[in-house]
Structure 1
Amino acid sequence: MFVLELTYTAPVERVDELLQDHVVWLDAQYAAGVFIASGRKNPRDGGVILAVGDDRAGIERIVSQDPFSVQGVCAYRITEFIATKTSDELAPYRQQLPG
């Protein structure tokens, strides 16, 4: 599992100009089963996305297609973690520690 932390590198007004395209991109990733939660940070200086994927390279490819990335209005920090405990609703995403 991956935590994608976005930090805006442009004024929020520029981010807002691209927001609709970003939401379309988000929706496509939800439909593909890659994203399971997302939202703005508070204060509004970026956002957070929880993602599932087979490898970091695949997540990096997806992130590179975000209109926010393409237009250079945010920087991504990608953190991979092993989700060994989850709520019952997220049980399909539970992982085992490597042997």
Structure 2
Amino acid sequence: MLFLVTLSSRAEQSAIQRQSNAHRAWLAHHTSQGRFIAAGPLASGEGGVIVAHGDQQSELEAVLSSDPFVALGLVDVTVQAWTPAIRHDEFPARWAQGATSLAG
């Protein structure tokens, strides 16, 4: 199952900047483990988005609690389960099982 995770800033930018390296290392670790497919900041600068893959939302929430931004209360987190119905042919089927493949 795919999950869309939104991190919304709730602290001053200076506090977030102090934890940015630790947050990026945390993202890199979980991306290399296959939990996260993509992640990055919002263009507005008011937070970020993570596209995650996993079996249970509760497992993802446990992983998210170890994010320095979350652990220090610098962001609010919203998790939404998402089941793609269609996908571009180049989007891996293992992340969107059951989605109809459409060529671009």
Fold conserved between structures, TM > 0.5: yes
| Deviation >3 Å, runs of 4+ | none
Equivalent residues, number: 97
* C-alpha distance in 2 between matches for 1:37 and 1:52: 10
Give the share of equivalent positions with the same residue, in percent: 27
Aligned mates of 2:86, 2:30 — CA distance in 1:
23
For residue 92 of structure 2, what is the aligned residue in structure 1? 90
- Counterpart in the other structure of 2:36: 35
Higher helix share: 1
Amino acid at match of 2:58: A
In 1, the alpha carbon distance for the partners of 2:10 and 2:56 equals 26
What TM-score does the superposition give when structure 1 sets the normalisation length?
0.91
What RMSD in Å do the two structures reach over aligned CA positions? 1.3
TM-score (norm 2): 0.87
Q: 5+ unaligned residues in a row in structure 2: which ranges?
A: 100-104
Q: Which has the larger radius of gyration?
A: 2
The amino acid of 2:61's aligned partner reads: E
